[in-house]
Amino acid sequence: MSGFDGELRRELEAIRKGGLHRELRRVDSPQSPQIEIAGRTFLNFSSNDYLGLSNHPALKEAAIKAVEKFGAGAGASRLISGSLAPHHELEETLAAFKGTEASISFSTGYAAALGAITAIVGKNDIVILDKLVHASIVDAARLSGATLRIFAHNDSVDLEEKLLWAGNLPPVPGKAPKRILVVTESVFSMGGDLASLRGIADLKDKYGAWLMVDEAHATGLFGAHRRGLIEEFDVAGRVEVQLGTLGKACGAAGGYICGSRALIDLLVNRARSFIFSTAPVPAAAAAARAGIEVIQSAEGEVLRQHLWSVVDHLKSALIEAGWALSPIRSAIVPLLIGKEEQATAIAAALRERGVFVPAIRYPTVARGKARLRLTATAAHTISDVAALVNALTSTKALN
Ligand SMILES: *Cc1c(COP(=O)(O)O)cnc(C)c1O
């Protein structure tokens, strides 16, 4: 045992030396603009609860009712006896919300990516990923056994080169023709920038590839019905696989795939993270469904408009304070710092001032591209924004 721990401690020491050590902080309050850590209240600009739904009465009530009617646990996987009414209701609501034929839910977005990609492509196929896609997609693509290619971030010229290369590969005798799957996020999780979905859809059509889009940071925020960036850019009919999480703007937990009936039926039969895993607790499915219902309602539009006003105030105050920011509007506002140690030091100084903002470092972003990732939510007020910018300004003066 001591040899084992000794080895691991050496690895931990190396992580610390690189300024990359992480640790958990226990939060003793619900997720909201004010969170409590170690007896102290912090102004929180770190959560992905973009519409403030995680603590919304309708979601809490849906969860409580589901517990009362269906118990705490699902008791089995979906294909055994765990496919409870709340799971089916969630999936019907999701498909109607996204305007697709069908949908399937998973216990997390990570599990959805893992299950879907490995079910759709295999050893004989090619997966082409944007350089900045989420770890769940990278892991899934690797696990699928497909040949992996990365295109430069949001770069259509480079994507076309990769598609040309894939299209020119000779067919393997006796094997089905190679499938080509392109995967991108719509709103990028660490930069807050938007994928050029129309250009990407044009290319995938031109080369006969399939397209999968991860709407984790766009669902609830973009599009006339708040479905996501696919709706905003009007490409729904050209995206074969829509992926998302129920843990961010939807306010609960879980992941989903939306698409054709054939896609969903195949995933029920083949997605290993769906098949070999206990069904999500009924409370999570019921809360997620209630979250989607709020997003679809008039209240959802009010929340989105308030979120954009928080974002706009935040960005103009930051620009006035001398930060260089992208003009793109999303709920994610990254402040590029560069060095890992410096980002960590600024985050620590902000905590001293009662402000909680995460320093995002390698391996979440590239080395030397450490940043403070500010996330605005509909639960923030304009005075929360002022307090954040004040704290940032006084912290920056010290650096
Ligand atoms: C959070 C996230 C996921 C994973 O979703 P979870 O439900 O948290 O597992 C997938 N893709 C992106 C881009 C994400 O930000």
C-alpha to C-alpha distance for 260 and 90, rounded to whole angstroms: 17
CB 90 within 8 A of CB 284: no
- The answer, yes or no, to whether any atom of ligand 1 lies below 6 A from the CB of 47, is no
Burial per residue of 168-192, b for 16 or more beta-carbon CB atoms within 10 angstroms, e otherwise: eeeeeeeeeebbbbbbbbbbbbbbb
The verdict on whether 248 is a catalytic residue reads yes
Q: In this predicted model, what pLDDT tens digit does every residue of 88-140 receive, in sequence order?
A: 999 999 999 999 999 999 999 999 999 999 999 999 999 999 999 999 999 99
What is the rounded average pLDDT for all residues in the chain? 96
pLDDT at 88: 98
Q: What is the mean pLDDT of residues 249-261?
A: 98
Per-residue pLDDT band for 177 (boundaries 50, 70, 90) equals confident
**pLDDT higher at 341 or 72:** 72
In the predicted model, is pLDDT for residue 153 greater than 80? yes
Give the pLDDT band (50/70/90) at residue 383. Answer: very high
pLDDT the model gives residue 121: 97
Going by alpha carbons, the residue nearest to atom 2 of ligand 1 is 216
Q: Residue 153 catalytic? A: no
Q: Name the residue with the closest Cα to ligand 1, atom 5.
A: 109
Q: What are 69-80's pLDDT values in tens digits?
A: 999 999 999 999
pLDDT at 377: 98
- Residue 210 gets the label, from left (phi > 0), alpha (psi -120 to 50) or beta, of beta
Residues 321-324: contacts with CB within 8 Å, 24+ apart?
Answer: 321/389, 321/392, 321/393, 321/396, 322/396, 323/392
Average confidence (pLDDT) over 240-259 = 98
pLDDT value of residue 395? 87
Cα separation values, 145 from 3, 38, 45, 212, Å: 34, 45, 38, 17
**What pLDDT score was predicted for residue 399?**
52
**What pLDDT score was predicted for residue 380?**
98
